[in-house]
Structure 1
């Protein structure tokens, strides 16, 4: 049962990352415009790889269900989730990133978990 909950919650979180919206449904703050970028260029969405099952794991055991990023990308996810400062590259300057919560609980997640629990209790 908890495995089903974790997989369904991960699916909802992936949909939020694809749609580039906060858990409450509002849109993320857009990227800053860089003078070097050419106008009209199509850019890929933010966190294109971060949403994949390789990096966003759903785990469950007898007592809990968990959706989390793998340790290799946790720092990147934490910096963007909380809007912290980080280096662009190893020797680069420090940059303050916009706060873009990647994971969170909303009414959709709560109703999904409630529905799965009620189905299993029948």
Structure 2
């Protein structure tokens, strides 16, 4: 653990030496890579830790006119899942109009199916998160920028 702290301190010192414009470009690339990983997880319908999401509920209505597309196909697009960066941070988040839907599904909250419709408790389906793949990607991007 002590060795990791030394590596973190060394990386922090190197990052502090980069100009703000270079840090912004680097963090923008990191945010794009992290967004791509999150989109892949949503496409595969799995949580960031690798576990599969709970499938949609079957109902009487579902059988006759069932939904044929996968969950969150539009929510994972770059229109709603934004990657932003500045000289001090990189962020991957949903836009304002998509945040409510994402929050309800991420935490498994209650929400109305449609305006004036019944209120339903949704299953928790984590959309965004950090895992080993994200950490490795971030470390590789940092080393690539610091080396070149």
> Could you state the TM-score of these two structures normalised by the residue count of structure 2?
0.79
Give the counterpart of 1:101 among 126, 130, 137: 126
Alignment-derived partner of residue 32 in structure 1? 57
3-state secondary structure, aligned to 1:37 = helix
Unmatched 5+ stretches in structure 2? 1-25
Alignment-derived partner of residue 14 in structure 1? 39
Map of 1:1-122 to 2, 5 A cutoff? 1-38=26-63, 43-122=68-147
Report the structure, 1 or 2, having the larger helix content.
2
Q: CA deviation at 1:67?
A: 0.3
Unmatched 5+ stretches in structure 1? none
Give the distance between the partners of 2:120 and 2:49, measured in 1 at CA: 26
Q: CA deviation at 1:42?
A: 6.4
Give the distance between the partners of 2:34 and 2:143, measured in 1 at CA: 16
Q: Which has the larger radius of gyration?
A: 2
Give the distance between the partners of 2:134 and 2:60, measured in 1 at CA: 40
Q: CA deviation at 1:37?
A: 2.1
CA RMSD across the alignment: 1.4
Which has the larger displacement, 3-12 or 33-42? Answer: 33-42
3-state secondary structure, aligned to 1:51 = coil
